[in-house]
Structure 1
Amino acid sequence: MKESFFSRLKNDLHKHWILYLMALPALVYFAVYCYTPMLGLYTAFSNYKITSGIFSGSFVGFKHFIDFFKSYYFLRLLRNTLLLSLEVLIWGFPIPIIFALVLSEIKSNSFRKVAQTVTYLPHFISVIVICGMVIDFTSMNGLINAIIQAFGGEPIAFMTKPEWFRTVYVGSEIWQKFGWNAVVFIAALSAIDISQFEAAHLDGASRWQKIRYISLPSILPVIVTVLLMQVGHLMSIGFEKVFNLYSPVTYATADIISTFVYRQGILGANYSSAAAIGLFNSAINLILVLSMNAISRKLTENSLW
Structure 2
Amino acid sequence: MTDISGLGEPLYTPPNAVIDIVFVHGLGGHRINSWTFQPTDEFPKKIFWPKDLLPKVCNNARILSFGYDSRFVDFFPIFSRKTLPVGTTVDDHGSALLQSLAGLRSTTSSSDRPIIFIAHSLGGLVVASALARNHGVKESGKQLVDSTFGIVFLGTPFEGSAKAGWGRAALRYVSLVASTKKDGVKDLEERSQKLIEINSAFSKLLKDRDRDRMRQPLEVACFFEEYPTFVAGKDIGIIVPKSSAGSLAGIDPVPISANHAGLSKFAGTFTNGYVMVSKLIVEWINSLGDALTETTGAVKSSPV
Q: Normalised by the size of structure 1, how large is the TM-score?
A: 0.28
Q: Which has the higher contact order (CA 8 A, sep 6+)?
A: 1
Q: Greater strand percent: which structure? A: 2
Taking structure 2 as the reference length, the TM-score comes to 0.28
Q: Would you tell me which structure has more helix in proportion to its own residues? A: 1
